[in-house]
Amino acid sequence: MWLGWSRFADVETVAQATLTLGPDAGALYDLRWALTATGRPRQALASYEQALSILLEVGDRAGEAATLSNIGMAYAGLGDRRRALVYYEQALPIRREVGDRAGEAVTLSNIGGVRFGQGDFVGAKTALDGVLHVDRAVGDRSSEALTCFNMAVLLSRMGRPGEAIEFLGRAIVLTEQTEHPALDRMRAFLVELQQLVKE
């Protein structure tokens, strides 16, 4: 509730007050968001680690997966791709176990992003293939459009512009259907790829 208002000092105060009553994973989660938003990512990581301990203790597998994924995002934000990947890869099987398809897609996308950043384009493609599978299985056309766009960027970097154009074409069709705000950017990238293929 408070986080939507962007009153992070208030969120931090309420979370700290709640924690004086005892350990509370929700309060630690809110505290992490407040700390991150106010430029204290290392302190935020500590609160996530505390929340993870609580979630493990009570057996909240869905909360455990979400927290592991969020710790991965925190490490990615700090530039530590290796540690981010470790946490994402721990979260992924739990997301699948609890049937969190949206979380599975997000975690796979994050894995793809880390692998892309590491220069592991084959690993990134494998992750994005997984995201596309989930997007299509659940009928999330907006996410599928973004994933197709990401795949086009990846394939372009891999020196496969023809395949990139195919994915970008699919992304544009889906974006037009879902009125996604990235449509103009996608069209501009398509023109660039088409020029590359002509050369």
> What total number of domains does the chain contain?
1
Gap between the Cα atoms of 21 and 17, Å rounded: 7
What is the number of other CB atoms lying within 10 angstroms of the CB of residue 26?
Answer: 12
pLDDT at 19: 45
| Residue ranges in the chain whose pLDDT is less than 50 | 1-5, 19
Neighbours of 16 (CB within 10 A): 13
* Residue 85 belongs to a domain: no
pTM: 0.81
Q: How far apart are CA 179 and CA 160, in angstroms?
A: 27
Parent domain of 175: 140-199
pLDDT per position as a tens digit, 63-73: 999 999 989 98
- 149: CATH: 1.20.58
The tokens for 61 are 């597998």
- Provide the pLDDT for residue 41: 77
Residue 74 and residue 57: Cα distance in Å, rounded?
22
Residue 65 lies in a domain: no
Residue 96, in any domain of the structure: no
pLDDT, position 137: 96
DSSP state of 4: G
pLDDT at 43: 78
In a domain, 162, yes or no: yes
